[in-house]
A = this chain, B = another copy of it.
Amino acid sequence: MPADLHDTITQRLRAVGQRYTPGRRQLVDRLASAPRPVTIAELLDGGARVPQSSAYRNLAVLEQAGVVHRIVTSDDFARFELAEDLTEHHHHLICAVCGGVEDFTAPPGLERTLLRVAGEVAGAAGFTTPTHRLDLIGTCPSCA
């Protein structure tokens, strides 16, 4: 968590004509301190009073600014995390039963290969600014 995290976020919000308000900062703090992607329900329940409509609206704004990333699994709840370039590159281990998500980091060799292949394949299909997402799907211990 860089010391200038909030400065970086301020800049990104400015770039899309948005302010870094207290409510948005509160959301960012929650996401930064969570060890895994967080659902809206978790944000609303977890202590601090965050109005539902503001949470949705501000997460959408933060997503547009490239500050947060929305993750959709097979359950009905979207999950949010800080954008990778604000934390560190990682991937997800997803439970096919309950939709739960865990973080993990891949070995450097695999990442290198992924980066190269992503560029090649995306280029061939005419896609621009490619990034990649690697999910491992299985059954988590509590659903086994």
Q: Which residues of A are in contact with B by a Cβ distance under 8 Å? A: 70, 72-74, 93, 95, 102, 104, 106-107, 109-110, 113-114, 117-118, 121-122, 125-141, 144
Contact = CB atoms under 8 A, between A and B. Distances in A.
Contact of A129 (B70, B104, B134, B139): B139
Contacts of A133: 134-137
Nearest to A134: B134
A132 B132 contact: no
A136 B141 contact: no
A64 B136 CA distance: 19
This chain: copies in complex:
2
Contacts of A114: 110, 134
B93 A121 contact: yes
19 contacts: A70-B74, A93-B122, A93-B125, A107-B117, A113-B113, A121-B136, A122-B138, A126-B141, A127-B141, A130-B137, A130-B138, A131-B136, A131-B138, A132-B134, A132-B135, A133-B136, A133-B137, A134-B134, A134-B135
Contacts of A110: 113-114, 117
Given A72-B74, A93-B127, A122 B134 contact: no
